[in-house]
Amino acid sequence: MGDHFQTLVDLDASPQDAPRLAERVVAWLVAEGLVQAELLPDCVYGLPLGRMPGPNWHRAVAPQDVRFGPGEGLAVHTERTVFHGGQGTLEAVHCPRCAATTRLHDGRNMVPETWGPFLLAVDTWYETGAADVDCPTCAERVPLPDWTWHDDYFAFAHLGFQLWNWPPLTTEFRTRITGLLDGHRTTYLQGKL
């Protein structure tokens, strides 16, 4: 048993947008009774404070999953963050320009020739907020956040709502949160520590 997490990531929020949108979503979640208003220590990983489930938390999950909850806290990330799927293998990445698939793993290990430039770019993006990788197939220079990751492994963004040890959120619930985000694109990552 490990700790499971799921993250709804806003892919388009700028560093300036993120706190305002976070506040809007949290206000809605609290008003609906899905999480508690009070920030508490030690109920999430990765941030010092989180919010515990509210009395109506079960409305965010499928009826058959209610017996697996409620889980722990909600962490709201409003800083530049490399969101990832935790465990599992990062097998490949897809170029948004030419749609070619670049394999990053050979079945046993990461492939240094293909993974190396991406790893470097992940570090650079985290430090500076910008990084590009040349596509090995079409040679286009593509910003790191634009690549499509196998199994939605990574998201490079400034706003993410991360729930710890909750049953999976329903699609309907995720759509309602997305509706509060000014028409931004979102992605949904699930992982385990």
- Applying CB under 5 A, the residues found at the interface with Zn ion are 95, 97-98, 100, 135, 137-138
Query: 116 or 179: whose CB is closer to Zn ion?
Result: 116
Nearer to Zn ion, 108 or 141 (CB): 141
Distance CA(54)–CA(29), nearest Å, equals 9
CB of 134 to Zn ion, least distance (A): 9
User: What is the rounded CA–CA span in Å between residue 7 and residue 140?
Assistant: 30
CB of 60 to Zn ion, least distance (A): 38
Cβ–Cβ < 8 Å for 145, 125: yes
Instruction: Spell out the alpha helix ranges (H) of 41-145.
Output: 112-128
- Separation CA 104–CA 74 (nearest Å): 32
Closest by alpha carbon to 7, among 99, 96, 77?
77
| Residue bearing tokens 């079960």 | 58
| Shortest distance, position 64 Cβ to Zn ion, whole Å | 42
The amino acid at residue 68 is: F
Q: Residue 43 or 142: which CB sits closer to Zn ion?
A: 142
Q: Between residues 97 and 174, which has the closer beta carbon with respect to Zn ion? A: 97
Q: Which is nearer to Zn ion, 56 or 137 (CB)?
A: 137
Phi-psi region of 56 (alpha: psi -120 to 50; beta: other; left: phi over 0): alpha
Measured CA to CA, the distance from residue 75 to residue 161 in angstroms comes to 6
